[in-house]
Amino acid sequence: MMYFHSRAEAGEQLARELFDKYRYENVALVALGDGGVAVGEPIAERLHCVLTLLVSEDVEVPGENQLFGSVSQTGQFTMNSELGEGQFNEYAYEYHNYLEEQKRQAFNRINRLIGDGGVIDRDLLQDHTVILVSDGLKDVMTIDVALDFLKPIRIQKLVVASPIASVEVVDKVHMIADELHIIDVKANYIDTDHYYDQNDLPSHEETIAKINQIILNWR
């Protein structure tokens, strides 16, 4: 079983793996969540490429402990692909007003957090190899949100990089990504924090501020 001292150390390992192939390519890193930023920083440094963040918020079905889907920073809603269509439609009908309100609130929270400059500039991704980077992929929801976000953007290649991922995610991502860089695959994925000794991440606000700074400097 593999554990990492910190997300930065895990990012260093992935950076070494990606360096030879992508050092001279047009690459853009898209972090999936705050932990992905911590993993992505050493990679961006080694590859001299931009690091940006896709912000999304989950929407839960009330009282069911069940993920309904996720809203991204463009306001786009992605359904939880692990729900069958029948089940999804049933929830959508039964809790329609509640779920619509949750989506609206999630989008408002994202907007308050990232401000005007927060939405990823698609020009930074256009015609690039896009590397989606995470600190741990437990379920396919974050990948689905990223895929929906990337749909209208013409990219050269899609690479997924994460220190750890569940078997289910790897099975799905194999079919959609051009390349996968996963250090350790877990059959029984516990919780992402569990695999790191250090879990003192900056606040969400600090991470967003850092990303905006990186993008300003990159321009």
Q: 131 with 43: CB under 8 angstroms?
A: yes
d(CA 70, CA 145): 7
pLDDT exceeding 70 applies to what percent of the chain?
96
Residue 214 has pLDDT above 80, yes or no: no
Q: Report the predicted TM-score, pTM, of the whole model to 2 decimal places.
A: 0.90
Task: Return the pLDDT at 123.
Answer: 81
Q: Is 218 exposed, middle or buried (0-12, 13-18, 19+ CB in 10 A)?
A: middle
Domains present along the chain, CATH in parentheses:
7-56+120-218 (3.40.50.2020), 57-114 (no CATH)
Q: 212 with 118: CB under 8 angstroms?
A: yes
What pLDDT band is residue 173 in, cutting at 50, 70 and 90? very high
pLDDT tens string 75-107: 899 999 888 899 999 999 999 999 999 999 999
d(CA 206, CA 89): 38
> Taking CA 124 as the corner, what is the angle to CA 25 and CA 29, rounded to the nearest 5 degrees?
60
d(CA 216, CA 212): 6
Mean pLDDT value across residues 10-14? 97
Q: Which two tokens stand for residue 205?
A: 């606000």
